[in-house]
Structures are given as structure tokens and as C-alpha cells.
């Protein structure tokens, strides 16, 4: 048979790096072939694009109020309207036609030059049955306004951005966290893990899984961030881009590291069970860690104390710190400090996770107790 | 030669392996038998380095095993394991590459092996879509795809039909013939009997026997004889009188048939009396089956 007649093929023992690469490559190729994954990514992308468009509309000026002017020639009325930024002039041929438009509700008011040229007001506003206060307000002469503090962000926009960061973090972490948990249990359940363990070091196996899924999660986040920035550019929301741009970039950086930590936790907890039905219950503590930042940022996006705490706790920092950067409440060194804390926690989590993982992989049947999984 | 020396392993209070030592010679098919929970799987996992022993060593040709050595082992775990949703060929290529093969060589090996095992047409099917017997063949392919120099197979024949047993048997024998130590466990003692040169018997975590099958048979059957007495007109005779012969201990008895143990003198006396009775149909030394040897050894 060929096994005895063919000469042995030359081979080199794969390095740690290439083992990790092979495992990660398999994780990625399996994911890319999964229709469920491609569809859910598509939906997430669309949701992000839609919310950027919607957010753009919300942050733009409200729709212009229409007022009628008589005749198309420039007069005091049309120049007064042009001086405002909330009124739009609709030309009527005569006063009768303008009144008809007012009665039909096509315009909110009629603006005509004052008859008495010496009057303090150059224009007269004609309303239907009550004074059109928004038109009057727009045409009034305003006192000069000075603010002691920097102007804050639009509260509605803050809310949208909070949901955006929270939801994207939550969705991506959940999707890929669950994926890595399933992949761990699949190997354990099918026992291929024994073959893998006899071939490559357990650390390489765990690292490959974490790297593969983190790369996928990272690519998804980068794609979402790129889509969001592109959406802002296309809808020419320069203002939003300026304030949101840097926080989006920080979000991507924090997510990249934060997800590695979550992936290690997901892999470690999942390795303690032997059946895919048990993944849900064993990973629920990690799931709460993923959900908490999402809920907190929605509830407390206007509470500086809660946000400050969130931006330093490693599990919520990927949402909390970008939020504070967006709000302009973070000093320049704060993201760096928080990132250092996150990196440190991630390294510790990886060490702990790798111990749980290698201790639990061969224990079939009942769920492995945490105390046993942590044994040396 | 693969050598396991003084290996101990316990889970908490429970000692699973106690002072386990045996050898698997190059070019020898070595059967590893024992009851459920006797410690076969644990021993194999320790050989593969999947589990670590509490004490003891595993060495190949005198040198302790390293991770690099173990990468040249072919291993088939007791409970079958392959990715259910991955294609058979792709999966074999992945495993070969984890063992350090270049992509082209990995593909070539996978293709050749699938042909050899009669799975060529199923190469692009997912594992879960294969029949159980074919999944088993795929599993064997997974243990062989990296041209292993040592084979450790846990129950390689369970779930195989007789044709597949022959195919797998051929592959394993060719590996042994090329000088590889082959260790496999099995519950099917008839297959072990057909197949293996050496036998390791384990019970309650201790090695009870480790020798060639021929030696074991001799050891357990040297003073045993079988006798069959026929009746006058084709009826069965009665071998009951054997019990009265001095120096004979009857092990099994059924009408005209008896299996007994006797020294040279007693044997001669029995034969003489049987011939004299005119009923003797057959007489000869008893070759115990491995199943019998096994039962006696673990008793």
C-alpha cells in the first residue's frame, strides 16, 4: 500500500504562530461560509446606515416654515425673510392670493413691508386667527447671546449616539462571543479536541480561536465605523463628523482589545460544558457583562458620574470612554489610562481563561465546577 | 519501541492507573484489552500527551517523548471526533497542515488516503452526511493523513462492517509492516485474536499481562485437553468417569465432551481408559481462545 511504498513527505513542525494561524484561518473560513452570519452582518450594517441618516436629519435644522410674500421683487419683506434661517418665502401674485394660501394652510403667515416706512419694524406679519409665534420669533430682533460654558450637544443626538455605541458593541460582542462558545463546545462535543490536543498545544488552539473571532469582530466593527463615517460624509454632516469622528476611532480601538477579553471569557466558560444546549446557561454571566454597558449607556448617557465610572471599568470602557469623548468630558489622557487598564485586565483574563480551558477540555458529561477548572 | 513505564494517574482519591508498564514493539500489532473503565483510554491519552500522568514516563526508542515526537503519532480517540459540518477532504487537509505538512502535500495525502479507504467519492461531502461506517473510515483517515510513525487507536473497529474491518485491518498491518509500533484497543476479542501479535491486558488500572499472543495461549493452555466421546450408535457418550481419574480436574463438562486439566500421567490414564471404552471420537491439547485467556487473566 502507498503508506509503505511512498517515501515520507518532508515536513517541519509548525511553529506556535503557524498553528495559531491555521486555527484562526479555519474559524474565519467557517464563519465566512455561514449564511446566517452573512445575513446578520448585512442587517446590522443596514441598521447602522439607517441610524446615521436618521441622526443626520435630527441634528439638521428643522424644516423651514413657509411664509407668503407678495410679488417677486426684492423688498423689505423678502430681505427680512432671507436674513432668518428658519423661514422660506413663497411668492404670491396678490394679497388675495396670499390670503387664500394662508386659509388653505399652504403658508403659516403672510409677510408684507410695513406701510409706515418710519415704523420700528420694517415688516408686518399677517396671521390667520392667532399670532404666528414662530414667524414672529424668527423676524424679531434678538439680543446678543453669550454663553459662559461651551455649548452642549443636542440631547437627542446624545441619546442616538449612546444607543449606537451600546448596540454595536452589544451586537458584535454577542454574535462573536456566542460563535466562539459554540465552536469550543462543538470541538468538545465531537471529541475532535482530543486529536487537536495531541497535535498542537492547547494554548495555540485557544489563541487561534480568540484571534480568528476577534479578527472577524474587529473587521465588522471597522466596516460599521467606516460605513458610519461614510454616511456622515455623504449626508454632509460635517459638524457631526467632527464631534463623532474621534470617538468612533477610539471605540474601534477599545473594542478590539475589549473583545479579546470577552472572547477568552466566552471560550473558557463554554469549555466547562459538553453539550451545545448548555452554552446558554454557562455563558450567561459573560452575557450580562456584555449587556450591562448597553443598558447603562442608554439609561445614564446624561449622567457624568456613571459615565466616568463606566469609562474605567474594563467591561464597559469600550462604550463608556468613546461616549465621554463624544461629550467632550474626557481629558486627553483619560482614554489612554483606561486603555492601559483594559489591556492589563485582558492579559489577566487570557491567562485565567487559558487555565480554565485546558483544565476543562477533556472533562465530559456534567458541567465542570469552576473551582476544579481553576486548579493548577 | 514505544515504552510505558510506571505510569500512575488518579482523579482525586480514585486511582485510575497504578504502576502501568508495557511495551509496544516496532512492527508489532499490539492489542490493548480490558473491561470498561479498566484504564485503556486514560493510558492512550497519556501516551498522546493529551493527559499528563501523575508519575511515570513514556518513551520512544529510549528517549522520553516530546511534543514534536507526538506530532508524528496517529491517534484515533475512543469517541469519534471530526467537525460535522466540514467536508471530509478539507478536514483531512486541515489536520495534516496542523501536523506541519505543506498545503500541496496535505492535499495529496488526503486524496490518496480517501481512495485507499474507499471514500474517494465522498471526499467533498460533509462528515455529518456520511453513514456511520463511512464516518468511521474518515476517522481512520484522520489518524493516518500525516503519515504517522506510531499509531495509537482507541477501538478502531467498533461500528465497522466486516468489509470495512478488512480494509482498515489491511491499512494497519501495512503500517506495522513498515516498522511502526501499532497499539489499538478493542472489545472485540475475535478481531484482536486475528490481528495482533502482542497483547496487553489491563484490569482496574493495573497491567495483568503483556506478552505475545502465542506465549499467552501456551501459558494458559499447556496442561489442558479436550476429549469427545461418541455413543454406540451416533449417540453421545458420557465423560462423567473423568472426574474419578486421579490428577484430573474437569473445567468444563457436557455429556460426551469434557475440558480438563491434567499432568502427563493422568493424561495417559485418561487416554488409555477412553480408548478402552471404544467411544473415543477426538482427543487433543486445548488451545484457549483469547477470550478465555482474557477471562482468566483478569480473574
For B20-55, the pLDDT digits (tens) are 999 999 988 999 998 888 889 999 989 988 888 899
Question: Does a structural domain hold residue A91?
Answer: yes
C-alpha cell at A150: 461651551
Tell me if residue A123 falls in helix, strand or coil: strand
Question: Does a structural domain hold residue A13?
Answer: no
Cβ distance of A197 and B174 shorter than 8 Å: no
Asked whether residue A249 falls in the same domain as residue A116, the answer is no
Contacts with A197 from chain B: Cβ below 8 Å? 48-50
Asked whether residue A198 falls in the same domain as residue A299, the answer is yes
By CB neighbour count within 10 A (0-12 exposed, 13-18 middle, 19+ buried), where does A312 fall?
Answer: middle
Asked whether residue A180 falls in the same domain as residue A328, the answer is yes
Is B170 in CB contact (< 8 Å) with chain A?
Answer: yes
pLDDT band at B213 (very low <50, low <70, confident <90, very high): confident
> Which of B73, B95, B175 minimises the CB distance to A3?
B175
Least confidently predicted of A68-82, A162-176, B115-129, B177-191: A68-82
Q: How far is B280 from chain A (nearest CA, A)?
A: 49
Q: Which domains does chain B have, with CATH numbers?
A: 2-211 (3.40.50.300), 222-298 (3.30.70.250)
Least confidently predicted of A236-250, B3-17, B112-126, B268-282: A236-250
Asked whether residue A221 falls in the same domain as residue A124, the answer is no
C-alpha cell at A52: 446615521
Residue indicated by cell numbers 482468566: B296
Higher pLDDT, B111 or B230: B111
C-alpha cell at B29: 500489532
Cβ distance of B71 and A22 shorter than 8 Å: no
Cβ distance of A199 and B177 shorter than 8 Å: no
Question: Does a structural domain hold residue A128?
Answer: yes
Asked whether residue A50 falls in the same domain as residue A167, the answer is yes
As a whole number of angstroms, the distance between CA A238 and CA A306 comes to 29
Higher pLDDT, B128 or B298: B128
Residue indicated by cell numbers 443596514: A46
Structure confidence at residue A2 (pLDDT): 38
Structure confidence at residue A119 (pLDDT): 66
pLDDT band at B191 (very low <50, low <70, confident <90, very high): confident
Cβ distance of A14 and B97 shorter than 8 Å: yes
As a whole number of angstroms, the distance between CA A225 and CA A201 comes to 36
- Of A89, A114, A139, the position where a domain reaches its end is A139
Contacts with B37 from chain A: Cβ below 8 Å? none
Asked whether residue A274 falls in the same domain as residue A125, the answer is no
CATH of the domain at A132: 3.40.190.10
Question: Does a structural domain hold residue A7?
Answer: no
Asked whether residue A164 falls in the same domain as residue A124, the answer is no
Is B44 in CB contact (< 8 Å) with chain A?
Answer: no
Q: In chain B, whose CA is at the least distance from the CA of A185?
A: B83
Domain count, chain A: 2
In the DSSP assignment, the letter for residue A237 is -
As a whole number of angstroms, the distance between CA A186 and CA A189 comes to 5
- Of A139, A162, A186, the position where a domain reaches its end is A139
As a whole number of angstroms, the distance between CA A276 and CA A178 comes to 11
Q: Are A105 and A90 in contact (CB under 8 A)?
A: no
- Of A88, A113, A139, the position where a domain reaches its end is A139
Structure confidence at residue A7 (pLDDT): 45
Structure confidence at residue A62 (pLDDT): 57
pLDDT band at A61 (very low <50, low <70, confident <90, very high): low
pLDDT in tens, A12-39: 667 888 899 999 999 999 888 888 888 8
Question: Does a structural domain hold residue A9?
Answer: no
Q: What is the mean pLDDT of chain B?
A: 86
Question: Does a structural domain hold residue A5?
Answer: no
Contacts with A2 from chain B: Cβ below 8 Å? 112, 116
Is A319 in CB contact (< 8 Å) with chain B?
Answer: no
Asked whether residue A305 falls in the same domain as residue A280, the answer is yes
pLDDT at A10 over 70: no
Is A201 in CB contact (< 8 Å) with chain B?
Answer: yes
pLDDT band at A48 (very low <50, low <70, confident <90, very high): confident
Count CA within 13 A, CB hemisphere, residue A319: 31
Asked whether residue A216 falls in the same domain as residue A337, the answer is yes
Q: Is the dihedral of CA A14, A20, A21, A25 positive or negative?
A: positive
pLDDT at A78 over 80: no
Asked whether residue A182 falls in the same domain as residue A291, the answer is yes
∠ CA B143-B147-B150, rounded to 5°: 70
For residue A192, the enclosing domain spans 18-58+151-373
Asked whether residue A135 falls in the same domain as residue A25, the answer is no
Structure confidence at residue A4 (pLDDT): 39
Structure confidence at residue B106 (pLDDT): 93
Question: Does a structural domain hold residue A11?
Answer: no
Asked whether residue A157 falls in the same domain as residue A284, the answer is yes
Choose among A137, A131, A123: nearest CA to A69: A123
Amino acid at each position: 500500500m502507498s503508506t509503505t511504498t511512498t517515501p515520507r513527505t518532508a515536513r517541519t513542525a509548525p511553529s506556535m504562530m503557524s498553528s495559531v494561524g491555521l486555527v484562526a484561518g479555519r474559524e474565519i473560513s467557517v464563519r465566512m461560509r455561514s449564511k446566517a452570519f452573512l445575513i446578520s452582518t448585512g442587517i446590522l450594517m443596514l441598521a447602522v446606515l439607517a441610524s446615521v441618516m436618521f441622526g443626520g436629519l435630527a441634528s439638521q435644522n428643522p424644516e423651514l416654515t413657509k411664509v407668503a410674500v407678495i410679488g417677486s421683487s426684492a423688498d423689505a419683506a423678502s430681505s427680512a425673510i432671507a436674513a432668518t434661517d428658519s423661514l422660506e418665502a413663497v411668492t404670491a401674485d396678490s394679497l388675495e392670493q396670499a390670503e387664500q394660501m394662508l386659509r388653505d394652510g399652504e403658508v403659516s403667515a403672510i409677510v408684507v413691508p410695513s406701510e409706515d416706512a418710519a415704523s420700528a419694524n420694517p415688516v408686518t406679519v399677517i396671521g390667520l386667527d392667532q399670532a404666528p409665534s414662530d414667524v414672529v420669533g424668527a423676524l424679531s430682533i434678538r439680543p446678543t447671546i453669550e454663553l459662559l460654558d461651551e455649548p452642549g450637544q443636542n440631547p437627542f443626538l446624545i441619546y442616538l449616539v449612546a444607543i449606537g455605541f451600546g448596540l454595536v458593541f452589544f451586537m458584535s460582542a454577542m454574535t462573536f462571543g456566542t460563535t466562539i462558545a459554540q465552536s469550543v463546545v462543538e470541538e468538545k462535543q465531537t471529541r475532535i479536541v482530543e486529536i487537536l490536543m495531541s497535535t498542537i498545544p492547547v494554548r495555540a488552539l485557544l489563541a487561534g480561536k480568540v484571534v480568528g473571532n476577534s479578527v472577524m469582530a474587529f473587521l465588522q466593527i471597522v466596516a460599521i465605523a467606516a460605513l458610519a463615517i461614510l454616511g456622515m460624509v455623504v449626508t454632509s454632516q460635517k459638524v457631526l463628523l467632527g464631534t463623532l469622528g474621534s470617538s468612533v476611532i477610539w471605540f474601534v480601538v477599545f473594542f478590539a482589545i475589549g473583545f479579546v477579553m470577552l472572547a477568552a471569557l466566552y471560550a473558557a466558560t463554554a469549555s466547562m460544558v459538553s453539550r451545545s444546549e448548555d452554552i446558554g446557561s454557562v455563558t450567561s454571566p459573560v452575557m450580562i457583562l456584555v449587556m450591562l454597558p448597553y443598558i447603562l449607556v442608554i439609561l445614564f448617557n446624561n449622567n457624568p458620574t456613571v459615565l466616568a465610572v463606566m469609562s474605567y471599568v474594563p467591561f464597559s470602557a469600550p462604550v463608556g470612554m468613546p461616549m465621554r469623548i463624544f461629550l467632550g468630558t474626557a481629558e486627553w489622557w483619560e482614554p489612554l489610562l483606561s486603555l492601559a487598564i483594559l489591556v492589563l485586565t485582558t492579559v489577566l483574563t487570557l491567562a485565567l481563561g487559558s487555565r480554565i480551558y485546558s483544565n476543562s477540555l477533556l472533562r465530559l458529561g456534567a458541567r465542570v465546577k469552576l473551582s476544579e477548572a481553576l486548579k493548577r | 519501541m514505544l515504552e510505558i513505564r510506571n505510569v500512575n494517574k488518579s482523579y482525586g482519591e480514585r486511582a485510575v492507573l497504578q504502576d502501568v508498564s508495557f511495551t509496544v514493539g516496532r512492527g508489532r500489532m499490539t492489542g490493548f484489552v480490558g473491561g470498561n473503565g479498566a484504564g485503556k483510554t486514560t493510558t492512550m491519552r497519556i501516551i498522546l500527551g493529551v493527559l499528563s500522568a501523575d508519575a511515570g514516563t513514556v518513551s520512544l526508542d529510549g528517549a522520553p517523548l516530546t511534543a514534536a515526537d507526538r506530532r508524528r503519532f496517529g491517534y484515533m480517540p475512543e469517541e469519534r471526533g471530526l467537525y460535522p459540518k466540514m467536508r471530509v477532504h478539507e478536514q483531512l487537509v486541515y489536520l495534516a497542515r496542523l501536523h506541519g505538512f505543506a498545503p500541496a502535500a496535505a492535499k495529496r495525502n488526503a486524496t490518496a488516503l480517501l481512495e485507499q479507504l474507499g471514500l474517494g467519492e465522498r471526499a467533498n461531502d460533509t462528515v455529518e452526511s456520511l453513514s456511520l461506517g463511512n464516518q468511521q473510515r474518515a476517522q481512520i483517515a484522520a489518524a493516518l493523513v500525516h503519515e504517522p510513525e506510531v499509531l495509537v487507536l482507541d477501538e478502531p473497529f467498533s461500528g465497522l462492517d466486516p468489509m470495512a474491518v478488512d480494509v482498515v485491518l489491511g491499512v494497519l498491518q501495512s503500517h506495522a509492516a513498515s516498522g511502526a509500533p501499532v497499539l489499538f484497543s478493542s472489545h472485540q476479542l475475535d478481531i484482536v485474536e486475528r490481528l495482533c501479535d502482542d497483547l496487553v491486558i489491563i484490569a482496574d488500572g493495573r497491567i495483568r499481562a503483556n506478552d505475545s499472543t502465542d506465549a499467552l495461549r501456551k501459558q494458559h493452555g499447556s496442561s489442558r485437553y479436550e476429549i469427545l466421546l461418541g455413543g454406540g450408535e451416533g449417540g453421545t457418550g458420557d465423560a462423567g468417569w473423568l472426574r474419578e481419574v486421579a490428577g484430573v480436574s474437569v473445567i468444563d463438562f457436557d455429556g460426551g465432551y469434557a475440558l480438563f486439566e491434567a499432568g502427563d500421567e493422568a493424561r495417559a490414564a485418561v487416554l488409555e481408559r477412553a480408548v478402552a471404552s471404544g467411544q473415543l471420537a477426538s482427543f487433543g491439547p486445548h488451545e484457549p481462545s483469547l477470550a478465555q485467556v482474557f477471562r482468566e487473566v483478569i480473574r
